[in-house]
Structure 1
């Protein structure tokens, strides 16, 4: 019997999968050469489009921001961004890959690929809250910042440098939960109300985070088309 010629064929497989994937029938080898986001972006000379990227999403809203005058709004934005950058430094994330989006009355950030829910809850949120307390101690009551912050995780897309996806929408709904607004407004000794989604709370329930499930209180979130349970704690 005549043997079929042997060929070495390599085919790049796109997508967000990482690590080697090899398949073949002895004649051809298909190898996954997908690279981390930063490498893909570097290879293309810019920020690459991403589909179905599994990321941690953080959305914030400044309590009572609409009551501030123009001067208050101008002072609020850089102070809030500086607190976020302090959190990024605590994570060891550079400014080049940490890009909060201004929502007008808060910030939204899709965390870099390597950042986990545990990283966000144990390190980022704690650092932001500490920076916020220090800012409030030096600020007058008129410029105090109290922050509601939601943490969610899921699949998002980045097209043309802009992030989109239902996790972003869901986090925005969580941060607007009326009960959380009320609780933060009544708590004179807290500057940040943390709200976590069911997906993020699952990580807490598994015992990975410093603050366990007993540190959170459940809340029913009914905002616009969203109706779900979430969990909150004050910092």
Structure 2
């Protein structure tokens, strides 16, 4: 195929990106995460009924993007691929060490793109990556404890999402202002995952660098919520420490004046 014979067709577009990938300095960890995301994405597409071989996909270092084959309903991306991506990420995290945990940003769009010998081109593709990298989207993800987030274009929201009341209810609008792009997008965050005991994930279990962004205060013990036996035990442990610290503070301040 040459540039002159490349076809311009309306295609569904999806891009995925590992949150804070650059902060993983270990090359082995980066390669592992990169491979995991490729596997999760390919599996999600296949389980949603998409032919991986018939789609165009390219690596982006910290993620990848997929242009699905012509004739594929964009609804399949939202109701098929996205849920499978979420399941894939949470399956990976459940079976991985803390170092190999993944938080994923996903962007979904659609439009007319051109494929040739050099790859893919077209305004919708540019808009897809502006959506994925929008400062507002990044901030929403950073301020949450979520391991997964999806952003869709305003065009896709109006044409597809808005007509599905149950699906649309979970989205909220956000500005997409990056470089020369100024448009609106819509964000969806899933409920927090459960730990193996079926309880919601505690945001304080996140790395220390993430705790300040979760919207929760510092972890602590509410003495009033403990049973009488546990309260007595905690006070018995803490009282000597408090007395010791008070004594140290008193000595550091010097003798008190006689009144």
TM range (shorter): 0.7 to 0.9
What are the Cα deviations for residues 36-85 of structure 1, in whole angstroms up to 9, with x where unaligned? xxxxxxxx9xxx95322100111122110111121121101110011111
Specify the SS of the correspondent of 1:150.
strand
Q: Structure 2: state its 5+ residue gaps.
A: 191-259
CA distance in 2 between counterparts of 1:93 and 1:56 reads 11
Residue 55, structure 1, aligned to residue 16, structure 2: no
1:179–1:205 CA distance, 2 compared to 1 (3 A): same
Listed as ranges, the matches of 1:1-235 within 5 Å are 49-69=5-25, 70-160=27-117, 162-188=119-145, 190-202=146-158, 203-207=160-164, 211-212=167-168, 214-235=169-190
Specify the SS of the correspondent of 1:142.
helix
Superposition TM-score, scaled by structure 2 size: 0.67
Superposition TM-score, scaled by structure 1 size: 0.74
More helix by share: 2
CA distance in 2 between counterparts of 1:147 and 1:180 reads 12
1:210–1:82 CA distance, 2 compared to 1 (3 A): farther
CA distance in 2 between counterparts of 1:97 and 1:187 reads 36
Which 4+ runs in 1 deviate beyond 4 A? none
Specify the SS of the correspondent of 1:113.
coil
Q: Structure 1: state its 5+ residue gaps.
A: 1-43
1:139–1:49 CA distance, 2 compared to 1 (3 A): farther
CA distance in 1 between counterparts of 2:31 and 2:23 reads 13
Do the aligned partners of 2:108 and 2:128 also contact (CA within 8 Å) in 1?
yes
CA distance in 1 between counterparts of 2:5 and 2:38 reads 25
Post-superposition offset of 1:219: 0.3
The match for 1:22 is none
CA distance in 2 between counterparts of 1:81 and 1:178 reads 24
CA distance in 1 between counterparts of 2:5 and 2:23 reads 38
CA distance in 1 between counterparts of 2:52 and 2:175 reads 35
Q: Aligned pairs, how many?
A: 187
Q: Which has more radius of gyration? A: 2
Post-superposition offset of 1:101: 0.8
Specify the SS of the correspondent of 1:50.
coil
Provide the alpha-carbon RMSD of the alignment: 2.0
